[in-house]
Amino acid sequence: MDFQLTEEQEMIQATARDFARSEIVPVAAAHDESGEFPLDTIRKMGELGLMGIEVPDEYGGAGLDTIGYVLAMIEISAADAAHGTIMSVNNSLFCNGILKYGSEEQKQKYVREIATGEQIGAYALTEPQSGSDASRMRSRAVLSDDGSHYVINARKSWITSGPVARYMVLFAATDPDAGGRGITAFLVDSEREGLSLGKTEPKMGIRASATCEVELNDYRCPVEDRLGKEGEGFKIAMSVLDAGRIGIAAQAVGIAQAAYEASLEYARDRKAFGKEIGSFQMIQAKIADMKCRLEAARLLTLRAAWTKMQASQTGARFTAEGSMAKLVASEAAMWIAYQAVQIHGGMGYSKEMPVERYFRDAKITEIYEGTSEIQRMVIARSETGLR
Protein backbone atom coordinates (compact mmCIF):
# COMPACT_ATOMS: atom_id res chain seq x y z
CA MET A 1 0.00 0.00 0.00
CA ASP A 2 1.38 3.38 -1.03
CA PHE A 3 -0.17 6.64 0.17
CA GLN A 4 2.25 8.76 -1.88
CA LEU A 5 0.64 10.87 -4.61
CA THR A 6 2.19 10.89 -8.07
CA GLU A 7 3.67 14.10 -9.47
CA GLU A 8 0.64 14.52 -11.76
CA GLN A 9 -1.80 14.04 -8.87
CA GLU A 10 0.05 16.63 -6.78
CA MET A 11 0.04 18.99 -9.75
CA ILE A 12 -3.74 18.85 -10.34
CA GLN A 13 -4.36 19.18 -6.60
CA ALA A 14 -2.17 22.31 -6.44
CA THR A 15 -3.74 23.77 -9.61
CA ALA A 16 -7.25 23.26 -8.25
CA ARG A 17 -6.31 24.63 -4.81
CA ASP A 18 -4.67 27.78 -6.20
CA PHE A 19 -7.57 28.45 -8.54
CA ALA A 20 -10.17 27.76 -5.84
CA ARG A 21 -8.52 30.15 -3.37
CA SER A 22 -7.83 32.97 -5.81
CA GLU A 23 -10.91 32.82 -8.07
CA ILE A 24 -13.73 30.96 -6.31
CA VAL A 25 -13.45 31.89 -2.61
CA PRO A 26 -13.85 35.65 -3.34
CA VAL A 27 -17.13 35.12 -5.27
CA ALA A 28 -18.68 32.12 -3.50
CA ALA A 29 -20.84 33.99 -0.95
CA ALA A 30 -22.19 36.41 -3.57
CA HIS A 31 -23.18 33.57 -5.91
CA ASP A 32 -24.80 31.73 -3.02
CA GLU A 33 -26.82 34.84 -2.18
CA SER A 34 -27.91 35.66 -5.75
CA GLY A 35 -28.15 32.09 -7.06
CA GLU A 36 -26.43 33.26 -10.24
CA PHE A 37 -24.73 30.48 -12.22
CA PRO A 38 -20.92 31.09 -12.10
CA LEU A 39 -20.29 30.83 -15.84
CA ASP A 40 -17.05 32.88 -15.77
CA THR A 41 -15.28 30.69 -13.24
CA ILE A 42 -16.62 27.50 -14.84
CA ARG A 43 -15.17 28.56 -18.22
CA LYS A 44 -11.79 29.21 -16.57
CA MET A 45 -11.96 25.82 -14.85
CA GLY A 46 -12.50 24.32 -18.29
CA GLU A 47 -9.35 26.03 -19.57
CA LEU A 48 -7.41 24.45 -16.67
CA GLY A 49 -8.69 20.97 -17.56
CA LEU A 50 -10.95 20.71 -14.49
CA MET A 51 -14.13 20.01 -16.49
CA GLY A 52 -12.79 16.79 -18.02
CA ILE A 53 -10.05 15.59 -15.71
CA GLU A 54 -10.25 11.92 -16.75
CA VAL A 55 -11.05 12.70 -20.38
CA PRO A 56 -8.14 11.78 -22.70
CA ASP A 57 -6.27 14.63 -24.31
CA GLU A 58 -7.60 13.65 -27.78
CA TYR A 59 -11.13 14.60 -26.64
CA GLY A 60 -10.08 17.86 -24.99
CA GLY A 61 -9.55 16.67 -21.40
CA ALA A 62 -6.67 16.60 -18.93
CA GLY A 63 -6.08 12.84 -19.30
CA LEU A 64 -5.52 12.26 -15.57
CA ASP A 65 -6.75 9.49 -13.26
CA THR A 66 -9.65 9.19 -10.80
CA ILE A 67 -7.46 10.02 -7.80
CA GLY A 68 -6.51 13.27 -9.57
CA TYR A 69 -10.22 13.95 -10.11
CA VAL A 70 -11.02 13.33 -6.43
CA LEU A 71 -8.17 15.57 -5.23
CA ALA A 72 -9.27 18.42 -7.51
CA MET A 73 -12.93 18.01 -6.55
CA ILE A 74 -12.04 18.27 -2.83
CA GLU A 75 -10.21 21.57 -3.40
CA ILE A 76 -12.94 23.13 -5.57
CA SER A 77 -15.74 22.03 -3.21
CA ALA A 78 -13.86 23.33 -0.16
CA ALA A 79 -14.04 26.76 -1.80
CA ASP A 80 -17.62 26.39 -3.02
CA ALA A 81 -19.77 23.26 -3.23
CA ALA A 82 -21.89 24.72 -6.06
CA HIS A 83 -18.83 24.87 -8.31
CA GLY A 84 -18.12 21.28 -7.20
CA THR A 85 -21.61 20.19 -8.27
CA ILE A 86 -21.28 21.68 -11.76
CA MET A 87 -17.80 20.18 -12.10
CA SER A 88 -18.99 16.73 -10.98
CA VAL A 89 -21.85 16.59 -13.50
CA ASN A 90 -19.58 17.57 -16.42
CA ASN A 91 -16.88 15.11 -15.36
CA SER A 92 -18.63 12.07 -13.91
CA LEU A 93 -22.19 12.05 -15.16
CA PHE A 94 -21.70 13.42 -18.65
CA CYS A 95 -18.19 12.72 -20.00
CA ASN A 96 -17.65 9.49 -18.11
CA GLY A 97 -20.72 7.73 -19.54
CA ILE A 98 -19.96 8.73 -23.12
CA LEU A 99 -16.32 7.67 -22.79
CA LYS A 100 -17.46 4.27 -21.53
CA TYR A 101 -20.46 3.61 -23.77
CA GLY A 102 -20.28 6.11 -26.63
CA SER A 103 -19.22 5.66 -30.25
CA GLU A 104 -16.13 7.42 -31.59
CA GLU A 105 -18.40 10.01 -33.30
CA GLN A 106 -20.25 10.66 -30.02
CA LYS A 107 -16.98 11.16 -28.16
CA GLN A 108 -15.79 13.65 -30.77
CA LYS A 109 -19.11 15.45 -30.99
CA TYR A 110 -20.15 15.66 -27.33
CA VAL A 111 -17.22 15.15 -24.99
CA ARG A 112 -14.81 17.84 -26.23
CA GLU A 113 -17.07 20.86 -25.70
CA ILE A 114 -18.04 19.72 -22.20
CA ALA A 115 -14.51 18.71 -21.13
CA THR A 116 -13.16 22.10 -22.17
CA GLY A 117 -15.96 23.95 -20.34
CA GLU A 118 -17.19 25.62 -23.54
CA GLN A 119 -20.55 23.98 -22.93
CA ILE A 120 -22.24 22.53 -19.84
CA GLY A 121 -23.54 18.96 -19.63
CA ALA A 122 -26.43 17.44 -17.65
CA TYR A 123 -27.77 14.00 -16.70
CA ALA A 124 -31.53 13.49 -16.89
CA LEU A 125 -32.69 10.39 -15.00
CA THR A 126 -35.02 11.56 -12.22
CA GLU A 127 -38.72 12.21 -12.85
CA PRO A 128 -41.43 13.73 -10.68
CA GLN A 129 -42.72 10.22 -9.79
CA SER A 130 -39.43 8.30 -9.80
CA GLY A 131 -36.38 9.32 -7.81
CA SER A 132 -34.89 6.47 -5.79
CA ASP A 133 -36.92 3.91 -7.78
CA ALA A 134 -35.23 5.07 -10.95
CA SER A 135 -36.30 2.27 -13.29
CA ARG A 136 -39.98 3.13 -12.82
CA MET A 137 -39.79 6.05 -15.24
CA ARG A 138 -42.65 7.31 -17.42
CA SER A 139 -40.55 8.91 -20.18
CA ARG A 140 -40.96 7.16 -23.51
CA ALA A 141 -38.93 6.88 -26.72
CA VAL A 142 -40.41 5.36 -29.87
CA LEU A 143 -38.33 4.43 -32.92
CA SER A 144 -39.67 5.97 -36.13
CA ASP A 145 -40.96 3.64 -38.86
CA ASP A 146 -37.96 4.34 -41.08
CA GLY A 147 -35.58 3.70 -38.14
CA SER A 148 -33.86 7.08 -38.53
CA HIS A 149 -34.82 8.66 -35.20
CA TYR A 150 -36.59 8.21 -31.88
CA VAL A 151 -39.53 10.37 -30.83
CA ILE A 152 -39.06 11.14 -27.15
CA ASN A 153 -41.69 12.38 -24.73
CA ALA A 154 -40.27 12.93 -21.28
CA ARG A 155 -40.58 14.95 -18.13
CA LYS A 156 -37.41 15.05 -16.03
CA SER A 157 -37.00 16.80 -12.71
CA TRP A 158 -34.14 17.99 -10.49
CA ILE A 159 -31.81 18.32 -13.46
CA THR A 160 -28.56 19.79 -12.19
CA SER A 161 -27.20 22.44 -14.63
CA GLY A 162 -30.44 21.95 -16.64
CA PRO A 163 -31.04 25.70 -17.21
CA VAL A 164 -27.61 26.20 -18.80
CA ALA A 165 -26.77 22.78 -20.24
CA ARG A 166 -26.32 22.44 -23.98
CA TYR A 167 -26.26 18.61 -23.95
CA MET A 168 -27.84 16.01 -21.68
CA VAL A 169 -27.62 12.25 -21.22
CA LEU A 170 -31.32 11.38 -20.95
CA PHE A 171 -33.03 8.08 -20.12
CA ALA A 172 -36.40 6.93 -21.49
CA ALA A 173 -38.24 3.62 -21.85
CA THR A 174 -38.17 2.08 -25.33
CA ASP A 175 -39.93 -1.04 -24.01
CA PRO A 176 -42.11 0.06 -21.09
CA ASP A 177 -43.24 -3.49 -20.25
CA ALA A 178 -39.66 -4.67 -19.72
CA GLY A 179 -38.97 -2.49 -16.62
CA GLY A 180 -35.28 -1.75 -16.09
CA ARG A 181 -34.37 -3.85 -19.14
CA GLY A 182 -36.52 -1.65 -21.39
CA ILE A 183 -34.73 1.65 -20.73
CA THR A 184 -32.45 3.31 -23.29
CA ALA A 185 -29.98 6.21 -22.99
CA PHE A 186 -29.94 9.15 -25.42
CA LEU A 187 -27.80 12.22 -26.02
CA VAL A 188 -30.07 15.23 -26.41
CA ASP A 189 -29.35 18.79 -27.49
CA SER A 190 -31.19 21.58 -25.66
CA GLU A 191 -31.09 23.74 -28.80
CA ARG A 192 -33.09 21.20 -30.78
CA GLU A 193 -36.83 21.68 -31.20
CA GLY A 194 -39.02 19.79 -28.75
CA LEU A 195 -36.93 20.36 -25.61
CA SER A 196 -38.04 23.00 -23.12
CA LEU A 197 -37.12 23.97 -19.58
CA GLY A 198 -39.60 23.92 -16.72
CA LYS A 199 -39.56 25.43 -13.26
CA THR A 200 -36.26 26.24 -11.59
CA GLU A 201 -35.86 24.79 -8.09
CA PRO A 202 -35.40 27.31 -5.25
CA LYS A 203 -32.79 25.34 -3.28
CA MET A 204 -31.53 25.37 0.32
CA GLY A 205 -27.87 24.99 -0.68
CA ILE A 206 -25.54 24.75 -3.69
CA ARG A 207 -27.63 27.71 -4.82
CA ALA A 208 -25.32 28.82 -7.65
CA SER A 209 -25.74 25.46 -9.38
CA ALA A 210 -28.89 25.82 -11.43
CA THR A 211 -31.52 23.04 -11.22
CA CYS A 212 -34.73 22.74 -13.20
CA GLU A 213 -37.32 20.50 -14.82
CA VAL A 214 -36.76 19.49 -18.45
CA GLU A 215 -39.56 18.50 -20.84
CA LEU A 216 -39.33 16.76 -24.19
CA ASN A 217 -42.39 16.89 -26.41
CA ASP A 218 -42.10 14.88 -29.62
CA TYR A 219 -38.35 15.53 -29.55
CA ARG A 220 -36.71 13.84 -32.57
CA CYS A 221 -33.46 12.20 -31.53
CA PRO A 222 -31.36 10.89 -34.45
CA VAL A 223 -30.67 7.18 -34.03
CA GLU A 224 -26.91 7.87 -33.99
CA ASP A 225 -27.45 9.86 -30.76
CA ARG A 226 -28.63 6.78 -28.87
CA LEU A 227 -26.00 5.97 -26.22
CA GLY A 228 -25.30 2.24 -26.05
CA LYS A 229 -27.82 -0.34 -27.17
CA GLU A 230 -31.58 -0.35 -26.79
CA GLY A 231 -32.49 -1.67 -23.34
CA GLU A 232 -29.00 -1.01 -21.96
CA GLY A 233 -29.96 2.36 -20.46
CA PHE A 234 -30.57 1.35 -16.85
CA LYS A 235 -27.20 -0.36 -16.57
CA ILE A 236 -25.57 2.71 -18.15
CA ALA A 237 -27.39 4.96 -15.66
CA MET A 238 -26.30 2.81 -12.71
CA SER A 239 -22.69 2.38 -13.77
CA VAL A 240 -22.38 6.13 -14.45
CA LEU A 241 -23.74 6.74 -10.95
CA ASP A 242 -21.13 4.33 -9.51
CA ALA A 243 -18.47 6.79 -10.70
CA GLY A 244 -20.61 9.84 -9.92
CA ARG A 245 -20.94 8.82 -6.28
CA ILE A 246 -17.15 8.91 -5.89
CA GLY A 247 -17.27 12.52 -7.14
CA ILE A 248 -20.00 13.39 -4.61
CA ALA A 249 -17.98 11.72 -1.85
CA ALA A 250 -15.08 14.00 -2.82
CA GLN A 251 -17.39 17.01 -2.82
CA ALA A 252 -18.51 16.07 0.71
CA VAL A 253 -14.87 15.74 1.85
CA GLY A 254 -14.23 19.24 0.44
CA ILE A 255 -17.17 20.76 2.35
CA ALA A 256 -16.12 18.89 5.53
CA GLN A 257 -12.53 20.09 5.15
CA ALA A 258 -13.63 23.72 4.79
CA ALA A 259 -15.93 23.46 7.83
CA TYR A 260 -13.19 21.80 9.87
CA GLU A 261 -10.51 24.35 8.96
CA ALA A 262 -12.83 27.29 9.72
CA SER A 263 -13.61 25.74 13.12
CA LEU A 264 -9.95 25.17 13.94
CA GLU A 265 -9.12 28.77 13.18
CA TYR A 266 -12.07 30.05 15.20
CA ALA A 267 -11.24 27.79 18.16
CA ARG A 268 -7.68 29.18 18.22
CA ASP A 269 -8.74 32.84 17.98
CA ARG A 270 -12.00 33.17 19.87
CA LYS A 271 -11.61 33.78 23.60
CA ALA A 272 -14.15 33.09 26.37
CA PHE A 273 -13.63 33.05 30.12
CA GLY A 274 -10.12 34.45 29.54
CA LYS A 275 -8.91 31.60 27.27
CA GLU A 276 -9.04 30.48 23.64
CA ILE A 277 -12.16 28.32 23.30
CA GLY A 278 -9.98 25.60 21.68
CA SER A 279 -8.43 24.97 25.09
CA PHE A 280 -11.76 23.82 26.55
CA GLN A 281 -12.21 20.05 26.57
CA MET A 282 -15.70 20.19 25.07
CA ILE A 283 -14.34 22.02 22.01
CA GLN A 284 -11.25 19.79 21.91
CA ALA A 285 -13.45 16.68 21.77
CA LYS A 286 -15.36 18.18 18.83
CA ILE A 287 -12.12 19.06 17.01
CA ALA A 288 -10.70 15.55 17.48
CA ASP A 289 -13.89 13.83 16.32
CA MET A 290 -14.25 16.19 13.34
CA LYS A 291 -10.67 15.50 12.25
CA CYS A 292 -11.07 11.70 12.57
CA ARG A 293 -14.32 11.64 10.57
CA LEU A 294 -12.82 13.94 7.93
CA GLU A 295 -9.74 11.76 7.41
CA ALA A 296 -11.77 8.52 7.45
CA ALA A 297 -14.04 9.95 4.74
CA ARG A 298 -11.04 11.10 2.70
CA LEU A 299 -9.41 7.65 2.85
CA LEU A 300 -12.58 5.80 1.88
CA THR A 301 -13.07 8.21 -1.05
CA LEU A 302 -9.50 7.77 -2.28
CA ARG A 303 -9.85 4.00 -1.92
CA ALA A 304 -13.02 4.06 -4.04
CA ALA A 305 -11.15 6.11 -6.67
CA TRP A 306 -8.29 3.62 -6.62
CA THR A 307 -10.72 0.69 -6.92
CA LYS A 308 -12.34 2.36 -9.96
CA MET A 309 -8.90 2.75 -11.55
CA GLN A 310 -8.15 -0.97 -11.02
CA ALA A 311 -11.61 -1.86 -12.35
CA SER A 312 -10.93 0.00 -15.59
CA GLN A 313 -8.31 -2.71 -16.33
CA THR A 314 -10.54 -5.68 -15.41
CA GLY A 315 -14.10 -4.46 -16.09
CA ALA A 316 -15.05 -5.33 -12.49
CA ARG A 317 -17.70 -3.27 -10.72
CA PHE A 318 -16.87 -0.81 -7.92
CA THR A 319 -20.49 -0.16 -6.93
CA ALA A 320 -20.18 -0.92 -3.21
CA GLU A 321 -16.91 1.03 -2.85
CA GLY A 322 -18.53 4.12 -4.42
CA SER A 323 -21.61 3.80 -2.21
CA MET A 324 -19.55 3.34 0.97
CA ALA A 325 -17.44 6.40 0.17
CA LYS A 326 -20.51 8.54 -0.59
CA LEU A 327 -22.42 7.37 2.50
CA VAL A 328 -19.57 7.93 4.94
CA ALA A 329 -18.32 11.18 3.40
CA SER A 330 -21.75 12.81 3.08
CA GLU A 331 -22.72 11.93 6.65
CA ALA A 332 -19.30 13.15 7.85
CA ALA A 333 -19.80 16.44 5.97
CA MET A 334 -23.23 16.99 7.53
CA TRP A 335 -21.99 16.15 11.04
CA ILE A 336 -18.82 18.23 10.74
CA ALA A 337 -20.73 21.22 9.34
CA TYR A 338 -23.20 20.91 12.24
CA GLN A 339 -20.34 20.94 14.78
CA ALA A 340 -18.72 23.85 12.94
CA VAL A 341 -21.86 25.97 13.36
CA GLN A 342 -21.96 25.05 17.06
CA ILE A 343 -18.29 25.93 17.62
CA HIS A 344 -18.87 29.31 15.96
CA GLY A 345 -21.89 29.97 18.24
CA GLY A 346 -23.92 33.00 17.11
CA MET A 347 -21.41 33.69 14.32
CA GLY A 348 -22.08 30.21 12.95
CA TYR A 349 -25.69 31.24 12.40
CA SER A 350 -24.70 34.40 10.56
CA LYS A 351 -24.23 34.83 6.82
CA GLU A 352 -21.11 36.86 7.65
CA MET A 353 -19.24 33.58 8.15
CA PRO A 354 -19.11 30.78 5.54
CA VAL A 355 -19.99 27.95 7.96
CA GLU A 356 -23.74 28.45 7.62
CA ARG A 357 -23.26 27.96 3.84
CA TYR A 358 -21.24 24.78 4.42
CA PHE A 359 -24.08 23.52 6.65
CA ARG A 360 -26.71 24.14 3.94
CA ASP A 361 -24.48 22.79 1.15
CA ALA A 362 -23.54 19.59 3.03
CA LYS A 363 -27.15 18.37 3.15
CA ILE A 364 -27.48 17.73 -0.58
CA THR A 365 -24.60 15.23 -0.53
CA GLU A 366 -26.84 12.93 1.56
CA ILE A 367 -29.60 13.20 -1.06
CA TYR A 368 -28.49 13.44 -4.69
CA GLU A 369 -26.94 10.64 -6.76
CA GLY A 370 -28.75 8.26 -4.39
CA THR A 371 -29.90 9.05 -0.86
CA SER A 372 -28.08 7.64 2.17
CA GLU A 373 -30.91 5.09 2.43
CA ILE A 374 -30.22 3.93 -1.15
CA GLN A 375 -26.46 3.73 -0.45
CA ARG A 376 -27.17 1.53 2.61
CA MET A 377 -29.40 -0.68 0.45
CA VAL A 378 -26.72 -1.02 -2.26
CA ILE A 379 -24.02 -1.85 0.32
CA ALA A 380 -26.19 -4.36 2.21
CA ARG A 381 -27.26 -6.08 -1.04
CA SER A 382 -23.61 -6.38 -2.03
CA GLU A 383 -22.60 -7.78 1.39
CA THR A 384 -25.47 -10.23 1.87
CA GLY A 385 -26.14 -11.19 -1.72
CA LEU A 386 -29.82 -10.84 -0.78
CA ARG A 387 -32.42 -8.48 -2.23
Q: By CB under 6 A, which span of 106-114, 213-221, 256-264, 365-373 interacts with ligand CAA?
A: 365-373
Interaction between residue 37 and ligand CAA (CB under 6 A): no
Q: Is the CB of 71 or the CB of 134 nearer to ligand CAA?
A: 134
Residue from the set 13, 160, 174, 257 that interacts with ligand CAA by CB under 6 A: 160
Residue from the set 134, 154, 336, 379 that interacts with ligand CAA by CB under 6 A: 134
Q: Cα–chain-centroid distance for residue 217? A: 28
Residue from the set 13, 66, 139, 239 that interacts with ligand CAA by CB under 6 A: 239
Interaction between residue 66 and ligand CAA (CB under 6 A): no
Q: Cα–chain-centroid distance for residue 103? A: 24
Q: What's phi and psi for 9, nearest 5 deg?
A: -65, -40
Question: Does the active-site annotation cover 8?
Answer: no
Q: Is the CB of 64 or the CB of 378 nearer to ligand CAA?
A: 378
Q: Residue 96 in contact with residue 34, Cβ under 8 Å? A: no
DSSP 179-224: GGGGEEEEEEETTSTTEEEEEEP--SS-TTS-EEEEEEEEEEEEGG
Other beta carbons less than 10 A from residue 285's beta carbon: 11
Interaction between residue 242 and ligand CAA (CB under 6 A): yes
In a 10 Å sphere around its CB, with 0-12 CB exposed, 13-18 middle and 19+ buried, how is residue 7 labelled? exposed
Q: By CB under 6 A, which span of 38-46, 238-246, 261-269, 285-293 interacts with ligand CAA?
A: 238-246
Q: Is the CB of 140 or the CB of 181 nearer to ligand CAA?
A: 181
End-to-end CA distance of the chain: 34
Q: Which residue is catalytic, options 47, 369, 373, 383?
A: 369
Q: Residue 313 in contact with residue 322, Cβ under 8 Å? A: no
Residues that bind ligand CAA (CB under 6 A): 89, 123, 125-126, 132, 134-135, 158, 160, 180-181, 234-235, 238-239, 241-242, 317, 319, 368-370, 374, 378
Active site residues: 369
